[in-house]
Each structure stands twice: as structure tokens, then as C-alpha cells.
Amino acid sequence: MAWTKYQLFLAGLMLVTGSINTLSAKWADNFVAQGCGGSKEHSFQHPFLQAVGMFLGEFSCLAAFYLLRCRAARHPDASVDLQQPFNPLLFLPPALCDMTGTSIMYVALNMTSASSFQMLRGAVIIFTGLFSVAFLGRRLVLSQWLGILTTIAGLVVVGLADLLSKHDDQHKLSEVITGDLLIIMAQVIVAIQMVLEEKFVYKHNVHPLRAVGTEGLFGFVILSLLLVPMYYIPAGSFSGNPRGTLEDALDAFCQVGRQPLIALALLGNISSIAFFNFAGISVTKELSATTRMVLDSLRTVVIWALSLALGWEAFHALQILGFLILLTGTALYNGLHRPLLARLARGQPPADEGERERLLDASRTAINDTS
């Protein structure tokens, strides 16, 4: 079936904005500028402030939701109930998980390459599958267990590629290893977020844009307030600012003032996350969750290719192997092999349709899935 122009637009929007999201964050990290008080030039390493920007992008999805609500009010026959009541506090626990996981990933992005960052986020499948069995009583089929094992193998290959790659002064081997481990650690938290959403949020059938915006609101407000104590908490060598504190938002604003392109990178990150969430939700509705997963995989390729073209990282053949293994693991877990097997079996329907309701199947992705 041929795609309409609108569907092609949505697919392109998701691919482009999803790629911009990671690339703009890494672009900001690559800038060097003076900070406050005439401090010497240093890298723009402000992961918690960048995370605040990301939540601001998610928060903006509420504006899109209310626009749709106004439209639905003028068209009473709208098929989606945008005004279904719910308790916003339901989103607080997953928002806290999202806030923690996102902050850790932005810290890790300072330490490793954009392509490895994107590939290693595929580890979420492992922990989501295990947590769904432990806490939601799910039963994973053989292909899903094989998908988890394949994903583990892919992570090992990507990690090995990072170990064998040439490292510059910006990304030393010890930092790359730490960054990779932090990304995988963050996926544990993201998996907890997905379990919480599955257990407490999905059953309320809240509109996805409203869900994303509500989590974004919680994350934006809480993390913005936490920037104040972070300004005074010593972080030693872990810190990337001259004061040696966990986060120095004032230093970030001074750097932005001296290097306006940083503001452009931050704006790209904020706006892209908003449009990416909207496009992802729309692709799932207009096309399928499978199409969304394929586009997400293409996003990794785009990020990798542009990182190589911009000279942000060196080519390593093992990354191709690692990406293909991770892609295979994701496909197995999400059951993409079933249509192929069904076709080979001359039109027999895919086995175990009930497995489509697993956490990473169909619409059961994280509400604000940016991975």
C-alpha cells in the first residue's frame, strides 16, 4: 500500500527531528567558550541544563494537545476523547525516572560518541523485558528471549568497537568506558519508567501528547529547581565547569553569551524533541509501531553517518557489526520476523497474536520514547 504525502511527511519529520535531537546535543558539547568572571575557555559541559531543555521540549507537547482539544471541541464527532479525566500525579513517578535517566544520558554523551550513545540505548530492551516478567507477570516467547540475548551480544560488540577506536584528548578511553556504562545504567531507569507507565498510566488511556506534556512539566519544574542546589554541590573531576560543582547554570549562560551558536544547538535540541514526540505518536497512529521502530533504527544510521562526516568520530568496522546485531535483537524482540515466517508459510497468520501487547510491541513504547 502506497504512503500518502502526509504519511511520508510524518516519517521524514520523525527521522529528521530524531536525528537532530542527538546531534544538536552533541554539537553543544563540542563548543569551547569562556565562562563567567573571565574564566578560561572550556567545553560546554552542562548535561543537567540540557536535560531541562529537553523537558521544556516535552512540556511544549501540551500546547499541541490543547490545540487538538480545541479542534475536537469544534468537531464533536472526533474519534479521540481528548478530555478524558485522569490524575496528573500518576505521571510523577515515571517523570522522576525520565528525569534521572535523561540526566545520566546527557552526562554520558559528554564522554562518548553520538553513534555509540544512540546504539547503546538499545539496551533498554533487555531490562524492559526482564522487568516485565518480574513485575508485570509477562511471559516472553522464545523469539523475545533470543532478542534479548542478541541485544546483549550487540552491546558487547559496540563496546569493543569503542575500546579499539582511536581516542583523542576530548574522549579518553576511561571516559568512553564510563560513558558507555552510564548509558546502559540509564536504560535500567528508562525500563523502570516503562514498567510504571504500563502498570499505572496506560490503563487510563490518556492522550499521548497530554501524557508527554505532563511528564515534561514535572521534569522541567523539578529539575529546574534542582539546578539551585547543584550549583553548590562539589563534583571534583567529574564536573565540567571551572567551579567544580555538579552543575553551574550561570556558567552555561555566560558561555552561550560568548558563543551564540550554543544557543542554536540548545534550541535545536528543545524544538526537535517536541516535534519528534509528535511525529512518533502520529507515525504509530497513521502507519504502525513497526514503521516507527524502523525509522528509529534509520535515525541511528543518520546520526552515525553525520558524526563521521563532521569528523566527530573515527570509523570503526565493528560498529557496523554491532549495529546490525542490535537491529536483529530489536527485530526479534518486537516480532518483526513473524510476517516473514508467515509469508514463507504461505499466508498462515503470525503465531501468538497476544504477544503484540508486550511492553515494546505495538503501542507499548515509553510515553516519551526518545530512544
Sequence ranges of the domains in the chain? 10-33+44-72+85-345
- For residue 86, the surrounding DSSP H or E stretch is none
pLDDT at 2: 64
- pLDDT tens, residue by residue, 185-217: 999 999 999 888 888 777 777 888 888 899 999
Q: Which amino acid is at 259?
A: Q
Could you give the 3-state DSSP secondary structure of residue 223?
helix
DSSP letter at 205?
T
Nearest to 133, CA basis, from 151, 150, 145, 146: 145
Q: What is the mean pLDDT of the chain?
A: 85
What are 254-279's pLDDT values in tens digits? 999 999 999 999 999 999 998 998 88
Beta bridge partners of 245: 234
Residue 364, pLDDT > 50, answer no
For 86-92, the CB contacts below 8 A with 24+ separation are 86/204, 86/206, 88/214, 90/200, 90/201, 90/204, 91/201, 91/211, 91/214, 91/215, 91/218, 92/218
Its pTM stands at 0.85
Residue 158 pLDDT: 92
Alpha helices in the chain (DSSP H): 5-30, 47-59, 61-74, 92-109, 114-120, 124-136, 142-164, 173-196, 208-230, 249-258, 260-286, 289-309, 317-333, 337-344
**Coil, strand or helix: which one is 360?**
coil
240/258 Cα distance (integer angstroms): 17
Cβ(125)–Cβ(335) below 8 Å: no
